[in-house]
Amino acid sequence: MGNTPSTSVFEACVRSALPGSAISVPTDLFYDLNAVKAYNKAYDITPVAVVRPSTTDEVSKAVKCATDNAVKVQARSGGHSYGDYSIGGVSGALVVDMVNFQQFSMDEATGHAIIGSGTLLEDVTTRLHNAGGRAMAHGTCPQVGIGGHATIGGLGPVSRLWGSALDHIIEAEVVLANGTVVRTNQDTHPEVLFAVKGAGASFGVVTEFKVITHPEPTEMTKYSYTIALGSHKNMANTFAAWQNIISQPDLTRKLASQLIVFEWGMVIEGTYFGPQSEFDALKFDEQLGKNATSKSVTLDNWMGTVANWAETEALALLGGVSAPFYSKSLAFRNDTLIPSNAIQSLFELFDSSNKGTALWFAIFDLEGGATNDIAMDATAYAHRDALFYIQTYAVGLLGVEDRTRQYLNDINNLIESSIPNAKLGAYAGYVDPYLKDGQQQYWGSNYPRLQQIKKELDPKDTFHNPQSVVAA
């Protein structure tokens, strides 16, 4: 792509601010492979440049260059944004790759840790473990970066006990659109902290977090149930039983659970944060019914447990592999459970649809617990009443066909039509570029406040993607 006068000025500005080795542009050899490194190959996006700063001052200067020259900016932590918003979401944006922000320290007196925003989740786990057997809540994919993960939600198996990853943030260093660097906490720049905790990509570049941590769990029971009955419609009753179990008002917070539907069957798996005797007392087997073949094992090693999460069937299909795919989500509450007739219709749809691919799956993820304890308006993350999510994925070999996208839309449409007048919402961590009114779906009642903050902090919309917060 040729340089326009404005991009030439922008590039000259960036080159004066950062070392040449920290800058990649489209004319570089193997730019897409070595610098862009798109995770979702379904979207063809070319950034105007990718920079890899090493200091907060370099981030500040790069962002200032972009703002002054009307170039959009998005930070990249692990590069796992499902809509490739981690590479700007639109061609011609600047990507600020945080790979060099690997700082880590632990205050043993408070249990507070400083974590650089370029740190991958597998390294977060290891560094916290090595710093005195500490831990925090986060997701299961080891290649995801904490920078994007903890600024959008950050849900994982231990979230029912400890809350989401963003609920652990007590302070952050953030570079704003005008290049200003602020440290935000509940007393200083609290409006920045509110926005960062759930909508960070729309407001700045986080360089580091200060987070609370917990002692690692010491005894965990990993369980799984396999359901293979030939056709999905025969599995509908087992799903209904699972939904009944997870919607029990007195369900223990020690239980993490997910149900995954594949082309070839269904799996129910999760972790119970306690001994197997306690898990057995829940009588999961009896409640699921005779069609579920079970196995469970007690683990006494936190690191082994986290590693085990990364080996689930869904992550084995997607995980860290770049491929073309499409993803959607819906959030469910206790008062918007899927009705029994819709469950049957849904599982018949799994059988009958022309999907365009055999590489698809639907993950139903139990949430609730500690994530529901925090007020809806305390952070930008708006799904404080969510009991569980569905996340659907479909992977193509060379691209995602229209009928494949339609299949995932059919799933959502069937469910939504079965729950009249229910505004289910969607999780911003599973971005859907085709989602209508995405901002309202992602941030709900918090969106107007986010729009006001956007107007104050980023009036030129420097931090932009197709579904970012729009200034009031």
138 and 277 inside one domain: no
266 and 371 inside one domain: yes
Which tokens in the block code for residue 214? Answer: 């917990």
- pLDDT of 195 over the 60 cut: yes
pLDDT given at position 85: 45
Note whether residue 208 is domain-resident: yes
170 and 293 inside one domain: no
Angstrom distance (rounded) from CA 329 to CA 393: 9
Give the pTM: 0.94
Helix (H) or strand (E) holding 448: helix 447-457
291 and 381 inside one domain: yes
310 and 423 inside one domain: yes
38 and 109 inside one domain: no
pLDDT band at 268 (very low <50, low <70, confident <90, very high): very high
pLDDT given at position 1: 43
227 and 365 inside one domain: yes
pLDDT band at 316 (very low <50, low <70, confident <90, very high): low
Q: Are the C-beta atoms of 161 and 273 separated by less than 8 Å?
A: yes
Of 97, 129, 152, which residue sits at a domain end?
Answer: 97
CATH number assigned to the domain comprising residue 406: 3.40.462.20
pLDDT band at 314 (very low <50, low <70, confident <90, very high): low
Q: Which domain holds residue 67?
A: 5-97
Angstrom distance (rounded) from CA 197 to CA 193: 6
Q: Are the C-beta atoms of 203 and 73 separated by less than 8 Å?
A: no
The CB-side HSE value for 462 (13 A sphere, CA atoms) comes to: 28
Amino acid of residue 24: S
CB atoms under 10 Å from CB of 470, counted, come to 14
Q: What is the mean pLDDT of residues 192-216?
A: 97
How confident is the model over 341-380, as pLDDT tens digits? 999 999 999 999 999 998 999 999 999 999 999 999 999 9
Residues paired with residue 186 on neighbouring β-strands, in sequence order:
none
How confident is the model over 250-259, as pLDDT tens digits? 999 999 999 9
- pLDDT of 222 over the 60 cut: yes
Note whether residue 469 is domain-resident: no
Residue 340: exposure state from Cβ atoms within 10 A (0-12, 13-18, ≥19): middle
Q: HEC states along 162-187?
A: HCCHHHHEEEEEEECCCCCEEEECCC
Of 80, 97, 114, which residue sits at a domain end?
Answer: 97
Q: What is the mean pLDDT of residues 129-158?
A: 94
120 and 91 inside one domain: no
Amino acid of residue 423: K
- pLDDT of 186 over the 60 cut: yes
172 and 124 inside one domain: yes
Q: What average pLDDT is seen over the chain?
A: 92
365 and 263 inside one domain: yes
How confident is the model over 366-422, as pLDDT tens digits? 999 999 999 999 999 999 999 999 999 999 888 899 999 999 999 999 999 999 888
Phi/psi of residue 269, nearest 5 degrees: -145, 165
Angstrom distance (rounded) from CA 123 to CA 126: 5
